[in-house]
């Protein structure tokens, strides 16, 4: 079931709970792990308004990692980071949530809905809503 904005309505299912736990871990790793320090620096430099972020997709390619990250509760950042060569500038592209939703399978629609829910809670807890 989708809402008027095209985003899946959350129903508290086991799948949603599992996704929620994974997203919370990804958020903690992003902000606290040495492994993700470069990614966090890229996000902070391109999205100075970032208060919270959730990795909603990660594709490890041969020489680079491709991330899709929900920034706050409003945009999706597509970031391509070279794994072994910090000299190469990261590729960063911003898309809207409605653009990201196009052609998205049900599992990823649920993941986005849960990430949005978590981001809105983060923003509210930090006094931004």
**25 domain-assigned:** yes
Domain count across the chain: 1
| Mean of per-residue pLDDT scores for the chain | 91
pTM above 0.85, yes or no: yes
Backbone angles phi and psi of 71, in degrees to 5 = -100, 125
With tokens 């620096």, the residue in question is: 41
- How far apart CA 67 and CA 100 sit, in angstroms, is 13
**115 domain-assigned:** yes
Structural domain boundaries, residue 80: 14-125
**3 domain-assigned:** no
What pLDDT, in 10s, does the model give residues 47-99? Answer: 999 999 999 999 999 899 999 999 999 999 999 999 877 788 999 999 999 99
**24 domain-assigned:** yes
Q: Name the token pair of 33.
A: 């792990």
**1 domain-assigned:** no
- How far apart CA 111 and CA 19 sit, in angstroms, is 6
């Amino acid at each position: 079931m989708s809402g008027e904005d095209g985003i899946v309505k959350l129903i508290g299912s086991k799948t949603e709970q599992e996704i929620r736990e994974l997203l919370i871990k990804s958020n903690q790793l992003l902000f606290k792990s040495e492994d993700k320090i470069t990614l966090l620096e890229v996000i902070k430099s391109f999205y100075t308004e970032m208060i919270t972020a959730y990795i909603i997709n990660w594709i490890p390619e041969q020489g680079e990692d491709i991330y899709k990250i929900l920034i706050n509760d409003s945009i999706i950042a597509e970031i391509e980071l070279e794994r072994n060569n910090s000299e190469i500038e990261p590729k960063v592209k911003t898309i809207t949530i409605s653009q990201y939703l196009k052609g998205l399978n049900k599992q990823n629609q649920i993941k986005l809905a849960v990430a949005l829910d978590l981001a809105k809670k983060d923003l509210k807890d930090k006094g931004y809503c």
